[in-house]
A and B are shown apart, each in its own frame.
Chain A
């Protein structure tokens, strides 16, 4: 009897404490496609989550679920988060697009933020970074550095974001090295270290001495290091443990300022559905330090591209550019509009192979 009483009162006390805490904290949920320890994409999103915690302290409570498969699983996880009282949910992979929209319909009072997608609703914002600006910097370095004139590219899924990156890197490599050739392998995964390592090894065996990756783990870096004279770029995160070589630079996703601002908007009650697409200039895309393995003049050229994009004087997709089939896309001096970029489903002229459909 005594024990039961004790338990009951404890439960009541807990319930009260939880209720009191619920009243004035904002609960922010994060859905991740990989493990927080992937050292790449998900790692950086989790850094953003930690920044939110550091900024608001007791005002917010954050929760996250990692390794959530794109598809029905994602919908279940989001629903669970919304039922547990989340006020704001960040869904951080392209494949969560439809699940996010579906769950958002069921919970009109919960705010959703979907990364890299293009479907919005009254309570669903989208946000992404102009990674292609970073790819322009990488392409410049790759074009200068390659001796075999073969650049290997590990693609994840054939979605606009990845295709944009391939096109941007190719255009800028071609600009400084007309003989450059891209070999593209589609891994059909965001995260599978063994497969990514195999893909990198295959590309290296076929003569690539520069590896660009759009997958999330550091396995290609390790493969490049084992092979010796190959350079790579950190993807999503700095991957500086592989510097100064093979990793010579990187694209760093910096989500923290955005996550903090959006959480603040929810706390203040000023949240609105928006579409954010920021690049190097706004700080959402960072370029990791270019290591000493890169000659000074190449580094200078790369930084010039970076700065010109940051201050808006240069656009990575500036004409004349033809599509792969030779038809004209952008005229001399014309720059690509965001609509075309967001739905990009074609290679530019010079890239060999077909995009898987």
Chain B
């Protein structure tokens, strides 16, 4: 065992990278669920975002354009879900599941000619002096721009949900859509926008995997992150900062357990491999003991005549 081989600074820096796709997807789904819609298609939207972003970045040479394309692709796929559930009144669980299956198939088709290609690199930001600081520099000031965007988005979603009129309306729609409708709010329109926001975030998360974390395109490369994001939203009691904590915890334990393995720590590998799931669930369950509950209208379809 040689724990000194683990460099804590690099460890924290790489756990932030490992956590970002999860954070982006979870924040998007959080907003969707706050509006009273349960979209189980996160995995599908992520993988489509991953290939759309990858393809655009390769064709245009700009990773930044890739991320924009990923957000658009994710949102476009989510519109399909919105049409099915909000206008055709289809079951949300079934529609979400089929969206995931559809996304996995569609992405494999779109990605046929992009296997084995290297995408253009997105440089890390470099702020003179700040980025060169020991310890703080690599952790806080040496990442790519999307990682900071993820944190900023968390803050923005938290502020909007808590303090703004828009957030209040969104929550009203999620808690009691009939009351919101009676007050004159356009329930379907608000939900449509929330679903599209969720799709765009999932798409960004997927592109983060294919453009920065891995970076390459392979079929099925999101490998279940979308499902973990869904679980994270519930365990985080629909609170943005807890979702951030959960994502960092999950990403962190994932990276730490690989580090412990490489350092030869005498814990059976099987326990290490399940530790990210276990620890994240335990911590978030303890945190959610304050009885915060799901949006009351979560998963229920709305029709104005009822």
Contact = CB atoms under 8 A, between A and B. Distances in A.
A167 interface: no
Contact of A205 (B7, B222, B254, B269): B7
B214 A193 contact: yes
Interface string A194-219: 11011101110111100000000111
Interface stretch (B10-18, B23-31, B195-203): B10-18
A352 B264 contact: yes
Given A207-B5, A241-B118, A198 B261 contact: no
A133 to B, nearest CB: 26
A346 interface: no
Q: Which of B6, B221, B255 has the most CB of A within 10 A?
A: B221
A67 B259 CA distance: 29
B219 A67 contact: yes
B108 interface: yes
Contacts of A357: 268
A197 B213 contact: yes
Contacts of B112: 37
Contacts of A184: 261-262
B263 A67 contact: no
A65 interface: no
Contacts of B268: 356-357
Nearest to B223: A192
B115 A194 contact: no
Contacts of B269: 186, 188, 356
A241 B116 contact: yes
A201 B7 CA distance: 12
A222 interface: yes
A353 B264 contact: yes
Contacts of B7: 205-206
B69 interface: no
B209 A194 contact: yes
B42 to A, nearest CB: 16
A198 B258 contact: yes
A61 interface: no
A241 B217 CA distance: 14
A39 B115 contact: yes
Contact of B111 (A37, A193, A219): A37
Given A192-B223, A199-B258, A353-B264, A37 B18 contact: no
A357 B216 CA distance: 32
A202 B255 contact: yes
A67 B223 CA distance: 12
A124 B114 CA distance: 37
Contacts of B259: 202, 205-206
Nearest to A192: B223
A353 B265 CA distance: 8
Q: Which of B5, B10, B11, B261 has the most CB of A within 10 A?
A: B261
Interface string A56-68: 0000000000010
Nearest to B10: A205
A185 interface: yes
A199 B259 CA distance: 8
A37 B6 contact: no
Given A37-B115, A67-B219, A219-B214, A183 B14 contact: no
Contacts of A222: 118, 214-216
Nearest to A195: B223
A152 interface: yes
B19 to A, nearest CB: 11
B100 to A, nearest CB: 15
Given A39-B115, A217-B218, A222-B118, A206 B262 contact: yes
A38 B14 CA distance: 25
Nearest to B266: A354
Interface string B86-115: 000000000000000000000010011001
Q: Which of B11, B216, B223, B269 has the most CB of A within 10 A?
A: B269
Contact of B258 (A191, A202, A241): A202
Q: Which of B5, B218, B221 has the most CB of A within 10 A?
A: B218
B221 A194 contact: yes
A205 B115 contact: no
Interface string B113-125: 0011110010000
Given A201-B14, A202-B262, A205-B7, A219 B209 contact: no
Contacts of B279: none
Interface in A199-251: 199, 201-203, 205-208, 217-219, 222, 226, 241
A89 B185 CA distance: 61
Contacts of B213: 194, 197
Interface in A28-59: 35, 37-39
Contacts of B290: none
Interface string B32-68: 0000000000000000000000000000000000000
Contacts of A199: 258
B220 interface: yes
B215 A205 contact: no
Given A194-B221, A205-B7, A206-B5, A356 B116 contact: no
B123 to A, nearest CB: 11
Contact of A67 (B111, B215, B220): B220
Given A185-B261, A188-B269, A198 B18 contact: yes
B273 interface: yes
* Leading 8 A-B pairs by shortest Cβ distance: A37-B115, A35-B219, A356-B269, A202-B258, A206-B5, A205-B10, A183-B262, A185-B261
19 contacts: A37-B112, A39-B115, A39-B116, A67-B219, A183-B5, A184-B261, A184-B262, A185-B262, A186-B269, A193-B216, A194-B225, A197-B214, A202-B14, A202-B258, A205-B6, A206-B5, A206-B263, A241-B116, A356-B269
